[in-house]
Structure 1
Amino acid sequence: MANTIYRGVFPVAPTVFDDNGRLDLEGQKRAIDFMIDAGSNGICILANFSEQFVLTDAERIQVQDTVLNHVAGRVPVIVTTTHFSTDICAERSRAAQNAGAAMVMIMPPYHGATIRVSERQIQEFFGRVSDAIDIPIMIQDAPVAGTPLSAPFLAKLAKEVKNVSYFKIETAGAASKLRELIELGGDAVVGPWDGEEAITLIPDFDAGATGAMTGGAYPDGIRKIVDAYAAGDTEKAADLYMQWLPLINYENRQCGLAACKTLMKEGGVIKSDMVRHPLAPMHPKVREGLLRVARRLDPLVLSWGK
């Protein structure tokens, strides 16, 4: 897969727990099977929407190995390996590659609200991680890191750090940033991608995005939009986007990472929609609203397991 260019819809898989908050690895496999059946071009695991921040290191390895062994090459899998420590991030990335990951996704080093490093250290960080692996690196440019990454700096990383070639842009004004990144980075920017549950999908694709990393509950709906856009039928893509936007918005603005699990549980994909404490369970009225919006669209997730 060294020369493969990854495009399309690569949703984030939830990490599945039982009602007691323990890993449910059989449920994890079912979630992955559903996501593939729903048309995912690939899958991302251990991301923020996977609750990576509530997992122990041992659990991360369990989820990673379970998913990669179960997928068995059916679709490419991106593994999030973010860590503040350069050496730990490099070690995680090498382990992901050895387990069969197609790519790793990494945020710039940050800790808490205030601990940040300079652009020079960020470049050294990605350079050392790149030296440890042979697969592409996707830089996740998201507000959660609180680290400004300008388009010129990202383009510089693409040109100067061997494996840095994909970028998931989730900041305000994402379309403008994607457009500038593509202009400045040229061929070094192999994969400019949309993120944040596809809330800015059409503007980002208008700007040149070629991939979308969304929530994991309705890849079938996002595929319809992206496939129409890729085929050149932008009007059809816009019409489809308008149909799915209420659900995208409900996930993005009301539910967050819990939306995927709620929809998967409702459709019999998984047994429990547990999120780990201190995350709070979804309010029953919010759940009711999410399901009401979803049922109007009849996504595969609501029938897959029944």
Structure 2
Amino acid sequence: MLDRSAKGVFVIAPTPFLPGGALDLDSTDRMTDAFIAAGASGMTILGVMGEAPKLTEAESLTFVDRVLKRVKGRIPVVVGASAPGFAQMKAISRGSMDLGAAGIMVSPAPGLKGDEAVVSYIAQAMDVVDGPFVLQDYPQLTGITMTAAMIARMAQDQRMVMLKAEDWPGLDKLTAVRKLEAEGKMPRVAILGGVGGQFLPEELARGADGIMTGYAYPEMLVKVCQLMGAGRRDAAQDLFDLHLPLIRTEVQPGLGLAIRKYVLKKRGIIAHDVLRAPGPKMSAETAGEVDYLMGRLERAEARLAA
């Protein structure tokens, strides 16, 4: 089970599809193997980049089951269960935990008004999940702002084991949460950054325990975490900077998942870069730009390894 000591790189996995839109379970196996081989400390599935709203409940649990069977307990798997209503949240979260998931991730529902409404919603969600709980703080998506003080209140429930910190700009909030912990005003929780990995070195320097994101070169994220942990910040930043142009390209609103799946396909990690409809399609010009960035990145890494 996930607990407050979690750290490292939790790779957010997309959901692979066949050209006709069905789940691609063979690619699911290959993708799971690739992320573990890259050094992932964990995986997160059915997250924002997992196209979860496009899946039926049965498909969601089929995908969860396939990933967990492939993982075989080697790393913890977190399942996203944010939903418009608690009935759907309960079905996905309880079903996933029964299959062997390590924890469940939920964000506040859009439209909540005021701090008390948000805190109350998360308390109810923790009762629904009734297991290790990951609080996703992603106001760019939900429109819900959670202050450090609100997070401290929610963390009093021992079931909240992790904060996925994705506010933007959010580095000062990360520092504020760690300050409240140091002052004894809240228990320490695991904090993993996000927002596509754009601020990984800074998040680690501010006290994050790692990152939860789906960048298509997770081995870089792992290496940066290792270098930062060894006190080699310049080396970590140099490596990160090589990838920043592709990270920037991958996090484009609307088109980002199409680009990420395209890169994963080119790397041989999934067989198809299909998004389930409705979804954007990459233009030939965008594909050419991504090809250029991938080639440039791989040449740069080859020079460093020489």
Q: Could you tell me the TM-score, scaled by structure 2's length?
A: 0.89
The CA deviation at 1:275 is 0.7
Task: State the match for 1:36 in structure 2.
Answer: 36
Query: Do the aligned partners of 2:9 and 2:210 also contact (CA within 8 Å) in 1?
Result: yes
The CA deviation at 1:133 is 5.0
In structure 2, give the amino acid aligned to 1:265: K
Task: State the match for 2:203 in structure 1.
Answer: 204
CA distance in 2 between counterparts of 1:180 and 1:36 reads 32
Q: Which moved more, 1:92-101 or 1:137-146?
A: 92-101
CA distance in 2 between counterparts of 1:3 and 1:222 reads 21
Q: Per the alignment, in what secondary structure is the counterpart of residue 167 of structure 1?
A: strand
Task: State the match for 1:151 in structure 2.
Answer: 148
Residues 14-66 of structure 1, C-alpha deviations (whole Å, 9 max, x = no match): 10001111111111111111111122111110011111121111111111111
The CA deviation at 1:273 is 0.5
Percent identity, please.
Answer: 31
Task: State the match for 1:289 in structure 2.
Answer: 289
Task: State the match for 2:302 in structure 1.
Answer: none
Task: State the match for 1:170 in structure 2.
Answer: 166
Task: State the match for 2:14 in structure 1.
Answer: 14
Query: Do the aligned partners of 1:109 and 1:117 also contact (CA within 8 Å) in 2?
Result: no
Task: State the match for 1:5 in structure 2.
Answer: 5
Query: Do the aligned partners of 1:244 and 1:297 also contact (CA within 8 Å) in 2?
Result: yes
Change in CA separation of 1:154 and 1:283 when aligned onto 2, cut-off 3 Å:
same
The CA deviation at 1:135 is 3.6
CA distance in 1 between counterparts of 2:46 and 2:117 reads 24
In structure 2, give the amino acid aligned to 1:206: A
Task: State the match for 1:95 in structure 2.
Answer: 95
Q: Which moved more, 1:220-229 or 1:179-188?
A: 179-188
Change in CA separation of 1:272 and 1:178 when aligned onto 2, cut-off 3 Å:
same
Work out whether 1:218 is the aligned partner of 2:189: no
CA distance in 2 between counterparts of 1:236 and 1:135 reads 38
Change in CA separation of 1:45 and 1:221 when aligned onto 2, cut-off 3 Å:
same
Task: State the match for 1:304 in structure 2.
Answer: none
Query: Do the aligned partners of 2:191 and 2:210 also contact (CA within 8 Å) in 1?
Result: yes
Residues 230-249 of structure 1, C-alpha deviations (whole Å, 9 max, x = no match): 12211211111111211211
The CA deviation at 1:87 is 4.2
The CA deviation at 1:134 is 5.5
Query: Do the aligned partners of 1:13 and 1:50 also contact (CA within 8 Å) in 2?
Result: yes
Query: Do the aligned partners of 1:262 and 1:273 also contact (CA within 8 Å) in 2?
Result: yes
Query: Do the aligned partners of 1:27 and 1:271 also contact (CA within 8 Å) in 2?
Result: yes
CA distance in 1 between counterparts of 2:188 and 2:3 reads 14
CA distance in 2 between counterparts of 1:157 and 1:94 reads 21
Task: State the match for 1:27 in structure 2.
Answer: 27
Work out whether 1:227 is the aligned partner of 2:223: no
Q: Per the alignment, in what secondary structure is the counterpart of residue 271 of structure 1?
A: coil
Q: Per the alignment, in what secondary structure is the counterpart of residue 277 of structure 2?
A: coil
Work out whether 1:130 is the aligned partner of 2:126: yes
Q: Per the alignment, in what secondary structure is the counterpart of residue 105 of structure 1?
A: strand
Q: Per the alignment, in what secondary structure is the counterpart of residue 12 of structure 2?
A: coil
Task: State the match for 2:53 in structure 1.
Answer: 53
In structure 1, give the amino acid aligned to 2:265: K
Q: Per the alignment, in what secondary structure is the counterpart of residue 268 of structure 1?
A: coil
Q: Could you tell me the TM-score, scaled by structure 1's length?
A: 0.89
Listed as ranges, the matches of 1:226-305 within 5 Å are 226-253=225-252, 255-298=255-298
Q: Which runs of 5+ in 1 are unaligned?
A: 300-306
CA distance in 1 between counterparts of 2:58 and 2:121 reads 24
Query: Do the aligned partners of 1:44 and 1:80 also contact (CA within 8 Å) in 2?
Result: yes
Listed as ranges, the matches of 1:98-117 within 5 Å are 98-110=98-110, 115-117=111-113
Query: Do the aligned partners of 1:82 and 1:107 also contact (CA within 8 Å) in 2?
Result: yes
The CA deviation at 1:120 is 2.9
RMSD between superposed Cα atoms in Å: 2.0
Q: Which runs of 5+ in 2 are unaligned?
A: 300-306
Change in CA separation of 1:14 and 1:215 when aligned onto 2, cut-off 3 Å:
same
Query: Do the aligned partners of 2:4 and 2:161 also contact (CA within 8 Å) in 1?
Result: no
Change in CA separation of 1:2 and 1:59 when aligned onto 2, cut-off 3 Å:
closer
In structure 2, give the amino acid aligned to 1:92: I
Query: Do the aligned partners of 2:3 and 2:162 also contact (CA within 8 Å) in 1?
Result: no
Residues 253-273 of structure 1, C-alpha deviations (whole Å, 9 max, x = no match): 374112221112112322210
Change in CA separation of 1:92 and 1:121 when aligned onto 2, cut-off 3 Å:
farther
Change in CA separation of 1:133 and 1:49 when aligned onto 2, cut-off 3 Å:
closer
Q: Per the alignment, in what secondary structure is the counterpart of residue 116 of structure 1?
A: coil
CA distance in 2 between counterparts of 1:103 and 1:192 reads 14
